[in-house]
Structure 1
Amino acid sequence: MYEITLLIALAGAFIVLIISPGPNFLVITQLSFSQSRQQGICAGLGVASGSILWALLAATGLGLVFEQLPWLQPALQLLGGAYLT
């Protein structure tokens, strides 16, 4: 159950990142204005699904690393907390 919660949280975080302005936003906007709304929606769905898939693959790989090296997760959490403060 913990894995599902983690994956949903990661998907939510990446949805926020996807809607922030950047190169993908510019491409989607350009397609929407120059061609059609449908082209923009298709590009947006492609960017969103690709980004979420990339994040899930990265999280799965990190989970495997944490299974092999259990001491690494608390160390990474401490370093991440120190970086944010």
Structure 2
Amino acid sequence: MDLNILLVVAALHAVVLIVPGPDVLLVSQTALARTRRAALLAGLGVVLGISVWASLALLGIGLLFEAFPWVHGVIRVAGGLYLLWMGYSLWRSSARPDTQAAPVQAPLSDLAALRAGFLTNIANPKAAVFFGSVFSGVLGTDAGSGVKLAAFGIIVGLSLGWFALVALGMSTASMQGAYLRARRGVDRVAGSLMLGFGTLLLASRE
């Protein structure tokens, strides 16, 4: 039944959203080190990236990967390099004196925050794999346009809700105060995780 398919789509995407990854790490770190507005815009950028992947999945990106495997390889390498750059930037930020970090890091423009979120998601080949195989597989080739549109709405709605929750929760005064007291350690952990994600992507053969 169509309802069962949509419930499976919702459950699978909820799990993918909640499991920590580059997207959640970016929005969380932006909320702690920047501003709530910047974090919300970074989250919106991530959702825009998710929307692109979901749209491509509905248009048959899985078939593209099967016909041209090198396309996925290009995405993997580009994504890995981007995450390595982000990890390096966080480590470089952690080296600045604490007097340069109050109350938070340098202001981030709306466009820069939106772009960071979008690029973090769109450069993640794991998103391509999920939407190109799992998402497409659950919907099936016989799904009608109504079911596809509903599935797209569920994906976008859940993503908006989750990243808004992360941005709002991590940008409270108490959370930002705790971040300022441990800024260098937090930035280095976040940077190390980004470097790890990037390295894993570059080393992956999938």
| TM-score of the pair, normalised by structure 2 | 0.33
Residues 139 and 148, structure 2, Cα contact 8 Å, conserved in 1: yes
Moved more, 34-43 or 68-77: 68-77
* Structure of larger gyration radius: 2
Report the alpha carbon displacement of residue 68 of structure 1 after superposing the two structures with TM: 4.5
Report the alpha carbon displacement of residue 52 of structure 1 after superposing the two structures with TM: 2.1
Aligned counterpart, 1:82 = 192
Residues 36 and 168, structure 2, Cα contact 8 Å, conserved in 1: no
Residues 28 and 44, structure 1, Cα contact 8 Å, conserved in 2: no
CA 1:59–1:40 in 2, change beyond 3 Å: closer, same or farther?
same
Report the alpha carbon displacement of residue 24 of structure 1 after superposing the two structures with TM: 9.1
2:175 is the alignment partner of 1:66:
yes
Moved more, 4-13 or 63-72: 63-72
Moved more, 17-26 or 59-68: 17-26
Cα distance in 1 for residues equivalent to 2:149 and 2:133: 11
Instruction: Give structure 2 stretches of 5+ with no counterpart.
Output: 1-34, 54-126, 197-206
2:42 is the alignment partner of 1:9:
yes
2:149 is the alignment partner of 1:41:
yes
Q: Which has the higher contact order (CA 8 A, sep 6+)?
A: 2
Cα distance in 2 for residues equivalent to 1:25 and 1:56: 27
CA 1:60–1:26 in 2, change beyond 3 Å: closer, same or farther?
same
Cα distance in 1 for residues equivalent to 2:132 and 2:158: 11
Report the alpha carbon displacement of residue 14 of structure 1 after superposing the two structures with TM: 3.8
Cα distance in 2 for residues equivalent to 1:73 and 1:59: 18
Matched AA of 2:171: G
How many aligned residue pairs are there?
Answer: 84
Percent identity over paired residues: 14
| TM-score of the pair, normalised by structure 1 | 0.66
Runs of 4+ in 1 over 6 A off after TM superposition: none
Bigger helix share? 1
Match of 1:34, SS state, is coil
